[in-house]
Amino acid sequence: MTDDPLQDLVLDGNAVAGSLVDAFGEEMTATPGECASCGNVAPLAGLVAYTRGPGIVLRCPACTAVMIRIARTRQGIFVDVQGARGVAMPPAALRPIA
């Protein structure tokens, strides 16, 4: 535990690896994402994850802008990537076979 109670709520993108697979249909932790706010590029595993709300919020590690939001409801999984300028996945032919 730290002296900052908010810091205790912070995880990295690896903590939401399963939710990223559910949302995108692929293993995404090594996939780079570009922050629409500051242009920082980081693997999704390196984003700052907040998981204790009604959904998941992934923030840029450089400027703390919200990059990705994921919410699971009875109707399905909703993904908001407005804060990400891009999330680059390799072509299917280059992905490892599971």
For residues 63 and 40, the answer to whether their CB atoms sit within 8 Å is yes
- The pTM of the full predicted model, rounded to 2 decimals, is 0.81
- Mean pLDDT across the stretch 63-84? 94
Under 8 Å between Cβ of 22 and 9: no
Give residue 88's pLDDT band: very low, low, confident or very high (50, 70, 90): confident
pLDDT tens digits, 1-10: 456 555 556 7
On whether the CB atoms of residues 70 and 79 are closer than 8 A, the answer is yes
Token reading at 12: 């990295």
Q: What is the largest CA-CA distance in the chain?
A: 47
Q: What is the per-residue pLDDT for 38?
A: 97
Going by pLDDT thresholds of 50, 70 and 90, the confidence category of residue 32 is very high
What is the pLDDT, as a whole number, of residue 45?
93
* Between residues 8 and 16, the one the model is more confident about: 16
28-37 burial, b at 16+ Cβ within 10 Å, e below that, comes to: bbebebbbbb
